Amino acid sequence: MVLLKNINELKVWCASQKSIGFVPTMGALHAGHLSLVKAATLQSETVLVSIFVNPTQFDEVEDLENYPNTLDDDLTLLKASGVSAVFLPDFDQLYPDDYRYQLSENDFSMALCGAHRPGHFDGVLTVVMKLFNLVKPAKAFFGEKDYQQLRLIRGMVKAFFLDVEVVPCPIIREKDGLAMSSRNMRLSKKEREIAPQLFKIISSGQSIERMQKMIEAAGFELDYLTTQGDRLLVAATLGEIRLIDNVPYNNLRTLKKPVELRSVETCPSKPSNVE
Ligand code: AMP
C-alpha cells in the first residue's frame, strides 16, 4: 500500500492508474468506512482512500479539536483491506487559497444539517471537488449514513458535469442498531447505552409527532426529524455528541419491512438507490 503525502506524489501515482475507485474519509475508521472500501475493491481496479480531517466543514472548533485521530490503526485496516494507496494531505496542500474560493449549493444545503451547521456543506462540497479534481476517480464511494451529503455530492457532480460515478453504500450499524460513526467513541458509557434508542425509535413506525416525543423522552436534544423522499432523517444531540441517522420510510407512516442490520460482511457490492 502506497502512502501519498503530497499532491505531487498523488498526481504521479494517479497518472499511472487505469481506473480509480476513490473513498474519501476523515479517518478514525470503522466498519462503515470499510464497507465503502470493500465496495470499491469489488468495483474498481485500484482503490485510493484519502484521510483528511477537513477543517472547513466543522462549524464548531471544539468538534474539530476533539475529532479522533487513529492514523496507525487506520493504515493497518486499509492495508488489510487491500487498498492500493492512501492520500494523506494537509490543509496547506489542499487549500493553497486558504479557503478564499468555495463551492456552495444554495437550496438543499441550507436545510436539515445545513440549518444547524452553518457552512458545513460548503466545506464538504469544496473539499470533495478539490479531491475529485486531483484524483479524477472513475467511481467514488459515499455512505448513505450521511444522506444529505450524498445527495448534495450527486447534485454537484451533475451540476458541474464531473466525470465520476457516485456510488451510494448502505449504513453499517453496531449490533444494537446504532449507526457506526467516528464520533460514537466520544459517547460516555451512559450515552452509549441510550444512543441505539435513536435508531429503534425512527424504525418504530410511529407517527413523526410520537417519535419526536420518544426521542426527547429518551434524553436526546432533537435537531430535526423529517421525511425526505422515501427516507426518514434524524439529527439529535446526546450530551456533546450530535448523531445522525436515517431509515427508509413510506408515507403511510409505517415501515414496509424492518430495517436490516448490515455488517461489512453482508454489505452488498452493488449500490442501492438513493434518489
Ligand atoms: P467520514 O470519515 O465521517 O467523513 O465518512 C467517510 C465516508 O464514510 C462517508 O461517505 C460516510 O457517509 C461514510 N460512512 C460513515 N459512517 C458510515 C456508516 N455507518 N455506514 C456507511 N457509511 C458510513
- Position 250 scores a pLDDT of 76
* Tens digit of each residue's pLDDT (9 = 90 or more) over 100-159: 999 999 999 999 999 999 999 999 999 999 999 999 999 999 999 999 999 999 999 999
Question: Which sign does the torsion angle of CA 150, 155, 160, 166 carry?
Answer: positive
Q: How far apart are CA 235 and CA 198, in angstroms?
A: 9
Cell numbers for 228, please give them: 425526505
The residue to mutate among 77, 145, 241, having the most atoms of ligand 1 within 8 angstroms of its beta carbon, is 145
- Position 259 scores a pLDDT of 56
The yes-or-no verdict on residue 247 having pLDDT over 80 is: yes
Q: Do you know the residue count of the chain?
A: 275
The yes-or-no verdict on residue 273 having pLDDT over 90 is: no
Please give the share of the chain, as a percent, with pLDDT higher than 90: 90
Domains of the chain: 2-169 (3.40.50.620), 182-266 (3.30.1300.10)
The yes-or-no verdict on residue 74 having pLDDT over 70 is: yes
* CA 82 to ligand 1 centroid distance, Å: 18
pLDDT confidence bin for 260, thresholds 50/70/90? low
- Position 203 scores a pLDDT of 96
Cell numbers for 118, please give them: 452553518
* Tens digit of each residue's pLDDT (9 = 90 or more) over 214-244: 999 999 999 999 999 899 999 999 999 999 9
Give the residues surrounding ligand 1 with Cβ less than 6 Å away.
25-26, 32-33, 35-36, 142-143, 145-146, 169, 171-172, 179-182
The yes-or-no verdict on residue 245 having pLDDT over 60 is: yes
Q: How far apart are CA 141 and CA 38, in angstroms?
A: 10
Q: Is 234 helix (H, G, I), strand (E, B) or coil?
A: strand
* CA 26 to ligand 1 centroid distance, Å: 9
9-13, 98-102, 231-235, 270-274: least confidently modelled range: 270-274
- Position 268 scores a pLDDT of 42
The yes-or-no verdict on residue 30 having pLDDT over 80 is: yes
Residue-by-residue DSSP string for 61-123: HHHHHT----HHHHHHHHHHTT-SEEE---HHHH-TTTT-S----SSGGGSHHHHHSTTHHHH
34-48, 102-116, 195-209, 245-259: least confidently modelled range: 245-259
- Position 165 scores a pLDDT of 98
Q: How far apart are CA 65 and CA 263, in angstroms?
A: 30
Atom of ligand 1 nearest to the CA of 144: 12
